[in-house]
Homo-oligomer: A and B are copies of this chain.
Amino acid sequence: MRIARLDTPAGPRHAVALGDRWHVIASPFAAPLVYTGDSIPADEAVLLASVDPRVVVGIGHNQPGHPLPMQAWHKSVHSVAGSGDDIYAVRDVGTVNIEGELAVVIGTSATNLTLENAFEAVLGYTVANDVTNVDQCPIDQRNFQGKSGKNYTPLGPWIETELADPENVATEVVINGAVVANSGSFNLPSSVAATLVYVTKWLTLEPGDVVLTGAPGTDLPVQPGDTVDITLAGIGTLSNTIA
């Protein structure tokens, strides 16, 4: 099932794709879903960021043998944007990279998840771009200077709740129409489940929170004017232009 977040006259609303219309729901976290009765033709819908998280956790994987474990950090929710929004690359601070990633959208409060039950806390999956001022990294121990820019975290185009296998999601990055990276969550040094176990050991996640899963070789430099399309198999394509 696809759940999008739409710009409507009443404000942002989540909606489910059925046929050629988006059907508005009261909340994406209710079970069962409650339909309001409103619907919007798909070709008239304006999609926002697929979720409005209170917490976005970024992930840096360390290669096997590295002295430190996986690293996590909080990325600013002010950086969240939707598919179609311009990414405002910070000027004069070095190279700006896009990073095409699988993002997990949490559905239920989750603490101390295990490898066995990690996916029970998941509502679905969306495509993320973890935009980064990479030349800041050496002087920015906490990933603040590098990752807080306007629209530096596009999330979209929607949440897919029925992904066959989160550990095997093919990821394609296209810049200005040319394929520049082909990889997938299967190339991550730690599994998606292990990432959720790690994060929830230290932080209780809540419905709507987003966990990025790291870039499996899908980080690439961009320039103003570039168009970036990140496609995750089974989910969809997140498209943004660098402003």
A contacts, CB < 8 Å to B: 54-55, 57, 60, 68-69, 71-78, 90, 139-145, 148-150, 202-204, 206
Could you list 12 further interchain pairs (A-B, Cβ under 8 angstroms) beyond the known A71-B140, A71-B142, A74-B144?
A54-B54, A54-B77, A55-B76, A60-B142, A68-B141, A71-B141, A73-B142, A74-B75, A78-B203, A90-B202, A141-B141, A145-B202
Closest B residue, CB atoms, query A75: B74
Nearest-CB distance from A211 to chain B (Å)? 12
Residues in B neighbouring A55, C-beta threshold 8 A: 76-78
The answer to whether B148 and A78 touch across the interface, beta carbons within 8 angstroms, is: no
Closest B residue, CB atoms, query A72: B144
The answer to whether B71 and A73 touch across the interface, beta carbons within 8 angstroms, is: no
Give the docked Cα–Cα distance between A55 and B74 (Å): 10
Residues in B neighbouring A76, C-beta threshold 8 A: 55, 74, 203
Give the docked Cα–Cα distance between A47 and B205 (Å): 25
Residues in B neighbouring A78, C-beta threshold 8 A: 54-55, 203-204, 206
Nearest-CB distance from A175 to chain B (Å)? 25
Nearest-CB distance from A207 to chain B (Å)? 12
Give the docked Cα–Cα distance between A77 and B150 (Å): 20
Out of B69, B74, B149, B206, name the residue touching A73 (CB < 8 Å): B74
Which among A140, A144, A150, A206 has the highest number of chain B CB atoms within 10 Å? A144
A-B CB proximity, top 6 nearest: A73-B142, A74-B74, A148-B203, A72-B144, A148-B202, A145-B202
Give the docked Cα–Cα distance between A182 and B185 (Å): 51
Out of B54, B68, B143, B149, name the residue touching A139 (CB < 8 Å): B68
The answer to whether B144 and A73 touch across the interface, beta carbons within 8 angstroms, is: yes
Give the docked Cα–Cα distance between A139 and B201 (Å): 15
Residues in B neighbouring A60, C-beta threshold 8 A: 142
